[in-house]
């Protein structure tokens, strides 16, 4: 497996997504496993797919596990339904799921604040049969405004993510411009300016986008970056994406934020899926 040069890796700040890596372990054991692998920062999808408002004891247990491991929580998703699974988000879904998203907003924001997390990701949601796209988009904007205000209250940015059409054919934000348009609408509605683009190089590459062009156009509006190689959504070096080059271009365009490792470890323990990354480059900075 090819890897990053030490100089290139050291120029980045990497965190590990504990919802796709270390999933062979129970949730509360994953922060310590990431720390044992040399990482100082982690991110998470909303861990409780059936509960946007878990009991305080459940939240406290995860908070304690993260604190005991000595890692930083750098990113957290709002409630997004069954993820991984058939869902892609909840905030644009009329009825029960939208209500669950709204109930989760302050719970997720307060949990993020308690751990110093400054990035909250709001996944849009699939199109629904029998509901006009414009109706879903209106609901989405209402909920994103609420989420942006809650994020601002706790000193966080609100992230809007592009997914890929082959894997998420009913998700409406499958181009970078589509997500940027939502970012701009939320910022216009709130006046806060804290809505940002989540630039996921795997999803964008699956959509066939010109990645250097996307970076050059939207780096200034990017609040977080995630990577996986393509094809396969594996570790860097398992596919054909020039990830070192692309992250270098992001730096040249002024991006100084975190890069989330959101890839599948393959048929091996997650601890063996990081040989591409020099150990010296894994600590939080």
Exposure class string for 189-198: b at 16+ Cβ within 10 A, else e = ebeeebbbbb
Enumerate domains of the chain plus CATH numbers.
6-281 (3.20.20.150)
Single pTM value for the model? 0.96
Q: From CA 12, how far away is CA 256, in angstroms rounded?
A: 8
Q: For residue 7, what pLDDT is reported?
A: 77
- Confidence (pLDDT) at 257: 95
Q: How many CA atoms lie within 13 A of 267 on its CB side?
A: 0
- Note the pLDDT of residue 1: 53
Q: Chain centroid to CA 142: how far?
A: 21
Active site residue 262: yes
Of 161, 244, 256, 272, the active-site residue reads 161
Q: What is the pLDDT of residue 2?
A: 62
Please tell me the distance from the alpha carbon of residue 13 to that of residue 260, in angstroms, as a whole number.
Answer: 8
Q: Is 161 a catalytic residue?
A: yes
Could you write out the DSSP letters of every residue in 50-78?
A: T-SS--HHHHHHHHHHHHHHT-EEEEEEP
Q: Which of 199, 251, 257 is nearest to 228 (CA)?
A: 199
| Per-residue CA distances from 89 to 14, 80, 97 (Å) | 25, 4, 9
User: pLDDT value at position 281?
Assistant: 80
pLDDT tens digit at each of 285 positions of the chain = 567 776 787 678 999 999 999 999 999 999 999 999 999 999 999 999 999 999 999 999 999 999 999 999 999 999 999 988 889 999 999 999 999 999 999 999 999 999 999 999 999 999 999 999 999 999 999 999 999 999 999 999 999 999 999 999 999 999 999 999 999 999 999 999 999 999 999 999 999 999 999 999 999 999 999 999 999 999 999 999 999 999 999 999 999 999 999 999 999 999 999 999 988 888 776
Q: Which residue of the set 262, 272, 275, 280 is catalytic?
A: 262
Rg of the chain, C-alpha, whole Å: 18
- Give the pLDDT confidence score for residue 84 in this predicted structure: 86
């Amino acid at each position: 497996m090819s890897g990053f040069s030490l100089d290139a890796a050291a120029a980045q700040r990497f965190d590990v997504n504990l919802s796709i890596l270390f999933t062979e372990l129970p949730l509360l054991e994953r922060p310590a496993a990431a720390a044992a692998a040399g990482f100082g920062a982690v991110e998470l999808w909303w861990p409780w797919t059936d509960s946007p408002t878990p009991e305080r004891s459940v939240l406290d247990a995860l908070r304690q596990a993260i604190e005991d491991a000595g890692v930083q929580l750098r990113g957290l998703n709002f409630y997004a339904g069954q993820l991984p699974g058939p869902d892609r988000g909840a905030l644009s879904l009329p009825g029960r799921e939208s209500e669950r998203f709204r109930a989760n907003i302050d719970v997720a924001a307060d949990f993020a604040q308690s751990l110093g997390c400054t990035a909250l990701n709001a996944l849009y949601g699939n199109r629904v049969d029998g509901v006009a796209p414009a109706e879903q988009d209106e609901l989405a904007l209402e909920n994103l405004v609420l989420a942006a205000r809650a994020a601002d209250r706790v000193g966080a940015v609100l992230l809007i993510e592009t997914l890929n059409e082959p894997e998420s054919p009913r998700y409406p934000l499958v181009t970078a411009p589509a997500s940027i348009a939502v970012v701009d609408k939320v910022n216009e509605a709130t006046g806060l300016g804290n809505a940002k683009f989540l630039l996921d190089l795997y999803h964008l590459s699956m959509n066939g986008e010109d990645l250097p062009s996307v970076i050059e156009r939207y780096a200034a509006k990017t609040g977080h970056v995630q990577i996986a190689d393509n094809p396969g959504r594996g570790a860097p070096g398992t596919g054909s994406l020039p990830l070192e080059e692309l992250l270098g271009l992001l730096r040249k365009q002024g991006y100084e934020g975190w890069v989330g490792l959101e890839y599948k470890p393959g048929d091996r323990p997650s601890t063996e899926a990081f040989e591409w990354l020099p150990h010296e480059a894994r600590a939080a900075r």
